[in-house]
């Protein structure tokens, strides 16, 4: 089973391999077996988002770990970055998140954190894949692991989030609308922001197992934008289903994406002397306007492949403490070991509190190039280097865009999609180019 792990763990449609109870039972056993080889008394903690299938897969993974002789701590609904933090805080051998992040409830997945609260190494993943290919053999009855529920985990994470915000400041001047996407932050976010003094209006914080990410959250901010205007709020904050993506809304109801938020934090940290290496990491999708704004402020921009795993790799390689994606994955390595939407939002709010400026003011310091994104659903494997029709079209369009634009076509790492991105100072040209490329991909 090579390449069992995708760019962000194991993910797919519930009921179809590998997102079935029997496969995830085997995955739990395989991961547990590797941990037993690496640790004398291994333990894992398991958290999940609010999908109805989470109960099923929590039980399957728990049984797999116990049969491998690994002790299990069950945390219930908890954001992915909370698992990263709590794995280290509880001194567990690994952390497990049952989630499909921003995907609809029909999907689910599993991702893992090491004992240090970071994604598993490639070597560990390969060792797990080898185990998955072997017959499952349980340890003897005297060696079976034990399971328990950690009741204090939520409170510990709330306090950790609050600790990343400057203690000399508070949020008493802000009215904030928070959209939890009916996901894993639904019972956490309000406590964090109200305890720091903000007036908070909560929306999409009543999960029923099926409404996670449905017309809400970081992937669909229209509801949040409307609520910010209606409540005359200072700011809106949107999380995704597992709490690792952040999109914000300014007081005019305008969306502020992950690229812009990274730029706001980066500029502030540069001016305060806190931006290590004067470097920010983004991805191939990062807007050209954002790159220019960073450069104008003396900040180096490093381009990574799309995916928070690759952003993290480049951050470590270049000794950077800040990185992110337009989708809202923002990593503040001086605050946490993984992308954390609550913590990232607090860093933006700290910039607002210290500067006395609005989010709109800070956003206005940069001018984004028009960027057109089209997703084409396809199960066909496309060789972007060999398909002559597509290659010729890209070359022709790139010559029209010249140096004021660019084209990026890639396969999604989490869904059966081809993602087409065209960026240009000419919005009409960007739209025409993206639509032309989408038609070619659809015809393949």
Give the residue among 360, 365, 439, 348 at the shortest CA–CA distance from 397: 439
Q: How far is CA 355 from the centre of its chain?
A: 27
Pairing between strand 330-332 and 300-304? Answer: unpaired
Q: Is 172 labeled as catalytic in the residue annotation?
A: no
Alpha-carbon span 211 to 402, nearest angstrom: 44
E-only strand ranges, 57-105: 71-77, 94-98
Question: Virtual CA dihedral for 311, 119, 124, 10, nearest 10 degrees?
Answer: -90
CA pair distance 173, 194, nearest whole angstrom: 12
Contact 420, 373 (CB under 8 A): yes
Is residue 96 classed as helix, strand or coil in its secondary structure?
Answer: strand
Pick the catalytic residue: 53, 99, 101, 114? 101
**Do 423 and 370 touch, CB atoms closer than 8 A?**
yes
Q: How many CB atoms sit inside 10 A of residue 13's CB?
A: 14
128 closest CA partner among 57, 46, 54, 38? 38
* Active-site amino acid positions: 101
């Amino acid at each position: 089973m090579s390449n069992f792990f995708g760019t962000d763990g194991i993910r797919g449609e519930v009921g179809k391999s590998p997102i079935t109870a029997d496969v995830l039972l085997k995955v739990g056993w395989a991961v547990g077996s590797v941990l037993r080889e690496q640790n004398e008394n291994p333990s894992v903690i398991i958290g999940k988002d609010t999908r109805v299938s989470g109960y099923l897969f929590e039980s399957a993974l728990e049984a797999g770990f116990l049969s491998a002789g690994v002790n299990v701590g069950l945390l219930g609904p908890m954001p992915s970055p909370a698992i990263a933090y709590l794995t280290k805080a509880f001194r567990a051998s690994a952390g497990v998140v049952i989630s499909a992040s921003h995907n609809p409830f029909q999907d689910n997945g599993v991702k893992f954190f090491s004992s240090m609260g970071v994604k598993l190494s490639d070597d560990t993943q390969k060792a797990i894949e080898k185990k998955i290919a072997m017959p499952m053999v349980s340890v003897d009855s005297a060696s079976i692991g034990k399971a328990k529920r950690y009741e204090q985990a939520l409170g510990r994470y709330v306090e950790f989030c609050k600790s990343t915000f400057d203690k000399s400041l508070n949020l008493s001047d802000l009215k904030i609308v928070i959209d939890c996407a009916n996901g894993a932050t639904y019972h956490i976010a309000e406590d964090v922001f109200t305890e720091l003094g903000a007036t908070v209006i909560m929306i999409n914080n009543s999960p029923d197992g099926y409404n996670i990410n449905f017309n809400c959250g970081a992937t669909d901010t229209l509801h949040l934008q409307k609520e910010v205007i209606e409540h005359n709020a200072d700011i809106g904050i949107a999380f995704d289903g597992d709490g690792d993506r952040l999109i914000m809304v300014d007081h005019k109801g305008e969306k502020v994406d992950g690229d812009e938020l990274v730029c706001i934090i980066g500029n502030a940290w540069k001016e305060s002397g806190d931006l290590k290496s004067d470097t920010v990491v983004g991805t191939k999708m990062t807007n050209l306007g954002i790159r220019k704004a960073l450069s104008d402020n003396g900040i180096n921009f490093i381009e990574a492949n799309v995916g928070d795993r690759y952003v993290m790799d480049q951050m470590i390689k270049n000794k950077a403490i800040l990185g992110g994606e337009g989708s809202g994955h923002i990593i503040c390595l001086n605050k946490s070991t993984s992308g954390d939407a609550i913590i990232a939002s607090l860093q933006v709010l700290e910039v607002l509190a210290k500067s006395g400026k609005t989010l709109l003011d800070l956003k206005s310091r940069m001018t984004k190039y028009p960027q057109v994104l089209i997703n084409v659903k396809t199960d066909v494997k496309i060789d972007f280097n060999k398909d002559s029709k597509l290659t010729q079209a890209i070359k022709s369009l790139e010559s029209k865009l010249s140096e004021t634009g660019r084209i990026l076509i890639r396969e999604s790492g989490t869904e059966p999609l081809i993602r087409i991105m065209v960026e240009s100072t000419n919005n009409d040209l960007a739209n025409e180019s993206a639509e032309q490329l989408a038609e070619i991909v659809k015809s393949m």
